[in-house]
Amino acid sequence: MNRIFSGVQPTGNLHLGNYLGAIRNWVRLQSEYECVFCIVDMHAITVWQDPQGLRDHTREVTAGMLAAGVDPARNVVFNQSQVPAHAELAWIFNCVARLGWLNRMTQFKEKAGKHRENASVGLYAYPNLMAADILAYRATHVPVGEDQKQHLELARDIAQKFNGDYGRDFFPLPEPLIFGAATRVMSLRDGTKKMSKSDESDYSRINMTDDADTIALKIRKAKTDLEPLPAEESGLEGRPEAANLVGIFAALADRTRQEVLTDFAGAQFSEFKKALTELAVATLGPMNAEMKRLLADPGHVDSVLRDGGRRARELSEPIMREVFDIVGFLRP
């Protein structure tokens, strides 16, 4: 049986990159697979989080997912810390994974930067917790962005070593579902940088909570060059900002870049930006309104998470019972 697991960190405003690169794909997968979607608050605290900020962001990310169309009745939607299996299995995986494997992880090197000695042990062990997230449900498929591919390979290595060490074919080797570079959304201020919640300029990103006027203003101010739009994709080479806006248009309209260029060949950016604003507002506007409605009722959001947590425990508990038995933990 195929089962999807995916996670998103509750660490700040959801933006268009999160929507086009992750959440929208989850919505599409929910009709084909059994899906478990997790807001990974335990991963979030690998770097400092203000407690009230963490609570707020957990609700915000949940509201964003629901507003984008993730159906909590059909899928399991919950925050990680509600389910003990994640921490329990992560500890076992800390004892399966090798130091040499973790030393190769590029995300740790990037996040720890020059202050490696000062990074939390949790940040180092982050990929083991991610492997535990997936394998506590014996998930077979994991939609992730390109940046998480290395962590997923590590999860496969851990599953394989566990199976080998204990002589049991217990964990599946989870497969990545990568949703192409087409959905890599870049900053509106610098087409060579990823759109990111950590960019200090709010004009670099479109947030899922931005209203129509803010979206229009940000697109109007988005950096471009002086040339009109080309007729062919090759004409976007060396024009990162133009390529990004065309890519965003294509992703929102569910068309190829070439189709978009065929329609807008020779157009000035002023005209193209108007069309892009209309499209962005039409897509994000209703989500934005729904997100606001949901955030005004945190009790409802909490009840969705509580129900998801209960169902996630029901799925993971029998798997963990088997894991404890395989490892030799006595449960008298």
Residues annotated as part of the active site:
111, 194, 197
Is the Cβ of residue 43 or residue 57 nearer to ligand TRP in the bound state? 43
Chain-centre distance of CA 24, in angstroms?
A: 10
Residue for token pair 């065309």: 246
The DSSP symbol for 232 reads S
> In 3D, which of 315, 256, 286, 311 has the Cα closest to residue 136?
315
Is the C-alpha dihedral spanning 80, 176, 74, 23 positive or negative?
positive
Q: Which of residues 43-102 bind ligand AMP (CB under 6 A)?
A: none
- Applying CB under 6 A, does 206 fall inside the site for ligand AMP? no
- Applying CB under 6 A, does 182 fall inside the site for ligand AMP? no
Residue 40 binds: one of ligand AMP, ligand TRP, none (C-beta under 5 to 8 A by kind):
ligand TRP
- Strand partners for 76: 36
Supply the minimum distance, in Å, between the C-beta of residue 16 and ligand AMP. 8
The three-state (H, E, C) secondary structure of 20-68, written as one string:
HHHHHHHHHHCCCCEEEEEECHHHHCCCCCCHHHHHHHHHHHHHHHHHH
Q: Which of 4, 5, 136, 291 binds ligand TRP (CB under 6 A)?
A: 5
Supply the minimum distance, in Å, between the C-beta of residue 255 and ligand AMP. 18
Residue 43 binds: one of ligand TRP, ligand AMP, none (C-beta under 5 to 8 A by kind):
ligand TRP
Q: Which of 3, 4, 5, 8 binds ligand AMP (CB under 6 A)?
A: 8
Asked whether the beta carbons of 10 and 61 are under 8 A apart, the reply is yes
Q: Determine how many CB atoms are found less than 10 A away from the CB of residue 25.
A: 19
Residue 224 binds: one of ligand AMP, ligand TRP, none (C-beta under 5 to 8 A by kind):
none
Residue 195 binds: one of ligand TRP, ligand AMP, none (C-beta under 5 to 8 A by kind):
ligand AMP
Residue 25 binds: one of ligand TRP, ligand AMP, none (C-beta under 5 to 8 A by kind):
none
Q: Which of residues 110-169 bind ligand TRP (CB under 6 A)?
A: 130, 133-134, 142, 144, 148
Strands 34-39 and 76-79, by their bridges, are parallel
Is the Cβ of residue 148 or residue 288 nearer to ligand TRP in the bound state? 148
Asked whether the beta carbons of 13 and 288 are under 8 A apart, the reply is no
CA atoms within 13 A on the CB side of 87: 9
Instruction: Give the sheet arrangement for strand 175-178, strand by strand.
Output: 76-79, 34-39, 3-8, 141-144, 175-178
Supply the minimum distance, in Å, between the C-beta of residue 195 and ligand AMP. 4
Q: Which of residues 200-229 bind ligand TRP (CB under 6 A)?
A: none
Q: What is the contact surface with ligand AMP in residues (CB under 6 A)?
A: 8-9, 17-18, 21-22, 144-145, 147, 183-185, 194-195, 197
